Amino acid sequence: MGYKNKLLTEKQYTILYLKMLDASCKNNKREWDKLLAMNSVTLVCYCPKNTFCHRHLLAKYLADKFSNQVELIGEV
């Protein structure tokens, strides 16, 4: 989405990515409900630990938007 090739700042990427997640929640409700019904989910990516990554944005999004269903445990 343009972050890796420096077309977007972290902040710009974050704003666009969160908008994309909101749209996905609305347009793919069944898939999100399946995800939220899982007992445990591990998000993976090739980015090194403690670097800016959409995986962290998604984890925080899930924990914020679905706080009654999602608990962040931390890095594996």
Residues that bind Zn ion (CB under 5 A): 45, 47, 53, 55
Tokens in use for 42? 């591990």
Among residues 15 and 47, whose Cβ is nearest to Zn ion?
47
Q: How far is the CB of 55 from Zn ion (least distance, A)?
A: 5
38-73 burial: b if 16+ Cβ within 10 Å, else e? eeeeeeeeeeeeeeebbbbbbbebbeeeeeeebeee
Among residues 51 and 67, whose Cβ is nearest to Zn ion?
51
Q: How far is the CB of 68 from Zn ion (least distance, A)?
A: 27
